[in-house]
Structure 1
Amino acid sequence: MKVLLVEDESMAAKRLTRLLHDLNPSIEILAQLDSVKRAVKWLNENEADLLFFDIQLADGLSFEILEQVQVSAPIIFTTAFDEYAIQAFKLNSIDYLLKPIDPEELGNALKKYEDLFAKREVPSMNMALIEQAMQMMTKKYKERFVVKIGEHIHTIATNDTAYFFSQEKATYLQTIEKNRFIIDYTLEQVEQLVSPEQFFRINRKYLVSLDAVKDIVTYSNSRLRLILKHSDDMDAIVSRDKVQEFKKWLDR
């Protein structure tokens, strides 16, 4: 099996090489490239059986390689990004691996490749999905919200926000410093504007940051109740269908 590694972290590349050889000593690493530019040049001149692409490289995203050169070999994406973003990285690759790469997961990914190779099947690239993934990777989340205080207009940094909540058809921003403001967005809109690493939608009423959580208490029907800073609201409850996802968010 001839493998190309596109990875800009030398230690990560060395570790992946070692893990691959531990799983299959016959694997041949053809090259280890650290940029979109070098990968495009290499793939225009060479071929490999299997490609490992780190998603974020020194000069851009590895998806850009697929826009510049036709790739016929299967791809396994590697990334340090969490699973909120990773859903878009599945694309048409064999698999994706979160760093640090787990040897067992790497072995499973190689097994998928071998199964495809035996069937002579190679996933076709869907450029629309690649574009979608690139947009997610490069998306800039909202850094501040405009609020009105009397006759004055102020901005509140998203990083200074403890949580957002809806009440009586209005959406409120609660700051870490205990201030509360009405904002001109629905909670659904705010959820799309802020980083999912920073804020979690626990139910229809609350979108909370980790810094706002004072305590977590087990609640009835396998739910969780959050004790939020500067709030005595008893409705800050993680709905049952979101409990597992919420726990993963806490453990990221």
Structure 2
Amino acid sequence: MNILIIEDENLAANLLKTQIKKHFPNAEIFGNLDSISNSISWFQRNPQPDLIFCDIQLADGISFEIFEKVHLSTPIIFTTAFDQYAIKAFKVNAIDYLLKPIDPEDLARAVDKYKTNQIRSTIDLAVLKSLLAPTNSTFKSRFLVKYGDKIQSIPTVEISFFSSEERVTFLQTKEGKKYVLESTLEQTEAQVDPAIFFRLNRKYLSSMEAIDGIFSYSNSRLKVTLKKCADQDILISREKVGDFKNWLDR
């Protein structure tokens, strides 16, 4: 049996491999593939595996883009850090999921569904995307942050961008003040209005107002600078350039 892992966090992938081995001790596990582009290339060069574990949010975008470009008949078990509204969407569509951090009992349940052929082998991408897109009622208007012993509530309209550094998520205001958030960048992305914030890459989720400059870069990529941000090497992958331009031209 061949199993493929699509996951951009090595720690999460290694933990998942260990857990999978308990259920499929003789399986050959491939991956982890960490991006949409790497995954598409892998499928073009290799036969389809028997089972796929796939994270939703990858380094260069949402993993559904893989399945729009590669026709698969392989059952897929998604892993996700998205909030509960998305989890309900997966249950409605009878596609299994594992909420991070992965609970061994949840994995056992998903594996049992696979072994009894209860996982769909086809994916309705349009339905999944519509269900994963938050409604206006889910967008946060404020973020609770802690600064020393002080607790503050920061209005979303005052936020310039969010960033991830060594697995810690930060919120930066338009004034340049920086605060630590308890949520991951993936969870934060699901909580803000996509018309206002765009996921530039795996490290940055930026508001429109925060963008200071946009420049052409090698390999059809773009380079972005943000106001009051010391990082001058924020790159947008070739795969995300089209979506980024559409967001800017909305």
Task: Give CA-to-partner distance per residue, 1:133-177, whole Å, 9 cap, x none.
Answer: 45349x993658xxxxxxxxxxx93589xxxxxxxxxxxxxxxxx
Question: Could you say if the C-alpha distance between residues 91 and 5 of structure 1 is closer, same or farther in structure 2, counting changes exceeding 3 Å?
Answer: farther
Higher-Rg structure is 1
User: Is the 1:92–1:123 Cα contact (8 Å) retained in structure 2?
Assistant: no
Q: Which position in structure 2 is the counterpart of 1:25?
A: 25
Q: Which amino acid aligns with 2:66?
A: I
Give the secondary-structure state (helix, strand or coil) at the position aligned to 2:98: strand
Q: Which position in structure 2 is the counterpart of 1:57?
A: 58
Give the secondary-structure state (helix, strand or coil) at the position aligned to 1:73: coil
More divergent stretch after superposition (3-12 vs 90-99): 90-99
Q: Give how far 1:90 is off.
A: 4.3
Give the secondary-structure state (helix, strand or coil) at the position aligned to 1:109: helix
User: Is the 1:143–1:157 Cα contact (8 Å) retained in structure 2?
Assistant: yes
Gaps of 5+ in 1: 145-155, 161-194, 199-252
Q: Which position in structure 2 is the counterpart of 1:243?
A: none
Gaps of 5+ in 2: 143-153, 159-188, 193-250
Q: Give how far 1:32 is off.
A: 1.3
Q: Give how far 1:56 is off.
A: 0.5
Q: Which position in structure 1 is the counterpart of 2:129?
A: 131
Q: Which position in structure 1 is the counterpart of 2:70?
A: 69
User: Is the 2:5–2:31 Cα contact (8 Å) retained in structure 1?
Assistant: yes
Q: Distance in 2 between matches of 1:108 and 1:142?
A: 32
* Pair 1:35 & 2:35 matched: yes
Q: Which position in structure 2 is the counterpart of 1:6?
A: 6
User: Is the 1:93–1:123 Cα contact (8 Å) retained in structure 2?
Assistant: no
User: Is the 2:5–2:32 Cα contact (8 Å) retained in structure 1?
Assistant: yes
User: Is the 2:55–2:78 Cα contact (8 Å) retained in structure 1?
Assistant: yes
Q: CA RMSD in A?
A: 3.3
Q: Which position in structure 2 is the counterpart of 1:211?
A: none
Q: Distance in 1 between matches of 2:77 and 2:10?
A: 18
Q: Give how far 1:112 is off.
A: 0.6
User: Is the 1:91–1:129 Cα contact (8 Å) retained in structure 2?
Assistant: no
Question: Which runs of structure 1 show a deviation greater than 3 angstroms over 4 or more consecutive aligned residues?
Answer: 89-94, 133-137, 139-144, 156-160, 195-198
Q: What is the percentage of aligned positions where both structures have the same residue?
A: 46
Say which structure, 1 or 2, has more relative contact order (CA 8 Å, 6+ apart). Answer: 2
TM-score (norm 1): 0.51
Q: Distance in 1 between matches of 2:132 and 2:85?
A: 14
Q: Which amino acid aligns with 1:157?
A: P
TM-score (norm 2): 0.52
Q: Distance in 2 between matches of 1:56 and 1:83?
A: 15
